[in-house]
Amino acid sequence: MTPHELMTDYLAAAHAGDWDAAFGLLADDLVLRIPGRSPQAGLHHGKAAAIDYIATIRARYGPGQIELEVIDMLVGNERVVLLVEERFRGDGLPVTIRRANVYRIAGGRITEVTIYEADQYVVDELLH
């Protein structure tokens, strides 16, 4: 499976709400880098840490309250960069964030994720 195919499958599964399929594409020894000063920020190791991060964010919002728009996908031999815009609709005003997620692909799995926020202050506020 090419990095493009893997990321396309990951996005399709996540969009369909099939988190078991999406999480099945994560390596057990995944490394996740989350920027900022929120409680979730820092370097995290393992698939369980990535699942926990995603579950923590999803638990704050109901079905349909988080929208992900992929602006562009840049694909190399072992990395995929997603330029995305995410909209969060919960209590209060909607929040829109833009970010670049860099994925390293090896052995048919996502082995590393590094997030780069366009506006870290907005994300820190969202995650507190």
The candidate with the shortest Cα–Cα distance to 105, out of 49, 25, 42, 47, is 25
Please report the beta strands in 1-128, taking only residues with DSSP state E, as ranges in sequence order.
26-34, 42-45, 66-75, 79-88, 95-106, 109-117
CA–CA distance, 26 with 51 (Å, rounded to integer): 9
Total domains in the chain come to 1
pLDDT given for residue 39 in this prediction: 83
pLDDT confidence bin for 124, thresholds 50/70/90: confident
Q: What is the CATH number of the domain that holds 41?
A: 3.10.450.50
Tell me the pairing of strands 109-117 and 26-34.
Answer: parallel
The candidate with the shortest Cα–Cα distance to 78, out of 100, 106, 102, is 106
Predicted structure pTM score = 0.90
pLDDT in tens, 6-22: 999 999 999 898 999 99
Which residues span the domain enclosing 27? 3-127
Is residue 63 over pLDDT 80? Answer: no
| Residue whose structure tokens are 């090896």 | 106
pLDDT confidence bin for 2, thresholds 50/70/90: very high
Are the beta carbons of 33 and 113 closer than 8 angstroms? Answer: yes
What's the whole-number mean pLDDT along residues 93-117? Answer: 94
Are the beta carbons of 87 and 64 closer than 8 angstroms? Answer: no
Are the beta carbons of 45 and 28 closer than 8 angstroms? Answer: no
